[in-house]
Amino acid sequence: MIEPKKRGAEMAVVPAEVKRPRTELVAAAQSQLSAMGPPRSSSLQAPIMLLSGHEGEVYCCKFHPNGATLASSGYDRLILLWNVYGDCENYATLKGHSGAVMELHYNTDGSLLFSASTDKTVCVWDSETGERVKRLKGHTSFVNSCFPARRGPQLACTGSDDGTVKLWDIRKKASVHTFQNTYQVLSVTFNDTSDQIISGGIDNDIKVWDLRQNKLIYSMQGHGDSVTGLSLSADGSYLLSNSMDNSVRVWDIRPFAPKERCVKIFQGNVHNFEKNLLRCSWSSDGSKIAAGSADRFVYIWDTTSRRILYKLPGHAGSVNEVVFHPEEPIGKIYIYIYIYIFF
């Protein structure tokens, strides 16, 4: 159910300026007249916004495709919906999971929101009304990841600690097909045409499952530890992966790519003993990538040069997910929700 939220100080916090002596204010005003600083590059109310309201660690967040709403969730089992602009109020709460929510995804047109949970289910929500329209049951352990198809029939794929990757048609009650993996699956995604599912888990390999042949068609080796996050580029040609070996890799997944599909390796972010499922993401134009990190920093790289563009401080714990706004140079990063503008 959707629960409208009253606006309150605990829901959207914009740091207030410390009161200063009048002389200092006058000096500051004169300084601003002489040098106004660089022009703002987004419609965000301030360069950094802090959103607070969750009652536990935040594991995931996603922008609505229209860029006006942010969904977030985590240990407290609640899915909070936030306005991106203005005071960034938490305007609604979706309740329904009985376990921590590990991953969130909107479908392509933003009409549906998918959530994967440790309660062994995936819920499908109407993003306008907040009503839960479907609950996908079939996994026998924690569901770590979910992903909706980009186009065609509304399919979804899921990965679980039960060692399976499942394909779902949300118009049907049970899963359409189950792929049996040897070990726990931590992250899944579709390819661009949604005729393949790509999975990563604790066996370090990235596996590609063909939905027409219903079998594993190839694996990509290179990571030296568990793969915790996968993200498909906007054009569908490349896959981004985050691993506990403290590297982020880009893979060429085009049909006739060379056998050695790993094309780039990025370093800087780290995993630690907490073994959180740190995710990764592309900017909408593919020029930047970002990844979660256990050292409390936000890492953003230039895709071409592999150079770290931003190493942003501010968090008091592991940064579990970083996502880019679909249109503006804004990103959302968690444990608490900070909104940054990238100049």
64-76: pLDDT as tens digits: 999 999 999 999 9
315 pLDDT tier (thresholds 50, 70, 90): confident
Q: Please, what's the b/e burial string for 173-209 (b: 16 or more CB within 10 A of its CB; e: otherwise)?
A: eebeebbebeebbbbbbbbbebebbbbbbbbbbbbbb
Region 22-27 average pLDDT: 39
| Tens digits of residue pLDDT in 329-339 | 765 554 445 55
pLDDT at 173: 87
The answer, yes or no, to whether residue 27 has pLDDT greater than 70, is: no
Residues 116 and 150: their CA atoms lie apart, in Å, by 17
Given a contact cutoff of 8 angstroms between Cβ atoms, the answer to whether 283 and 289 are in contact is yes
φ, ψ for residue 22 (rounded to 5)? -60, -40
- pLDDT reading at 148 higher than 80: yes
Q: Cα dist. 138→79, 141, 269, 293, 298 in Å?
A: 22, 9, 34, 31, 35
Higher pLDDT, 258 or 83: 83
Q: Which residue has the higher pLDDT, 249 or 315?
A: 249
Q: What is the pLDDT of residue 49?
A: 83
Mean pLDDT of 213-233: 96
Q: What angle do CA 313, 317, 318 make, to 5 degrees?
A: 90
Give the pLDDT confidence score for residue 199 in this predicted structure.
Answer: 97
Tens-place pLDDT, residues 87-140: 889 999 999 999 999 999 999 999 999 999 999 999 999 999 999 999 999 999
Average pLDDT over residues 8-19: 41
Q: Which are the contacts of 144, defined by CB distance < 8 A and separation ≥ 6?
A: 102, 103, 116, 159, 160, 161, 184, 185, 186, 187, 277
Q: Structure tokens of 33?
A: 């007249």
pLDDT of residue 248: 97
Per-residue confidence (pLDDT) for residue 40, from 0 to 100? 62
| 12 has a pLDDT exceeding 50 | no
Tell me: pLDDT of 50 over 90. Answer: no
Which parts of 150-283 fold into alpha helices (H)? none
Across 20-29, 97-106, 172-181, 227-236, least confident range: 20-29
Q: Is the pLDDT of residue 28 over 50?
A: no
Locate the domains of the chain by residue range.
228-342
Position 237 scores a pLDDT of: 95
Please compute the mean of the pLDDT values over residues 182-202 and round it to a whole number. Answer: 96
- The pLDDT, as a whole number, for residue 9 is 38
**Residue 54 one-letter amino acid:** H
Give pLDDT, residue 21. 45
Structure tokens at 225: 């530890």
| pLDDT, averaged across the chain | 87
Q: Check if the beta carbon of residue 249 is closer than 8 Å to that of residue 264.
A: yes
Of the pLDDT bands very low, low, confident and very high (cuts 50, 70, 90), residue 44 is confident
Percent of the chain predicted with pLDDT > 70: 84
pLDDT for the residue numbered 4: 53
pLDDT score, position 10: 40
Shortest CA distance to 260 belongs to which of 220, 311, 208, 233? 220
Distances (CA, A) of 44 to 14, 215, 258, 339: 12, 46, 43, 9
Neighbours of 131 (CB within 10 A): 13
Q: Is the per-residue pLDDT at 256 higher than 90?
A: no
Please say if the pLDDT value at position 258 is more than 70: yes
Going by pLDDT thresholds of 50, 70 and 90, the confidence category of residue 340 is low
Residue 17 has pLDDT above 80, yes or no: no
Determine the pLDDT at residue 2.
Answer: 60
The dihedrals phi and psi of 273, each to the nearest 5 degrees, come to: -65, -20
User: Please, what CATH class does the domain formed by 228-342 belong to?
Assistant: mainly beta
pLDDT of residue 176: 95
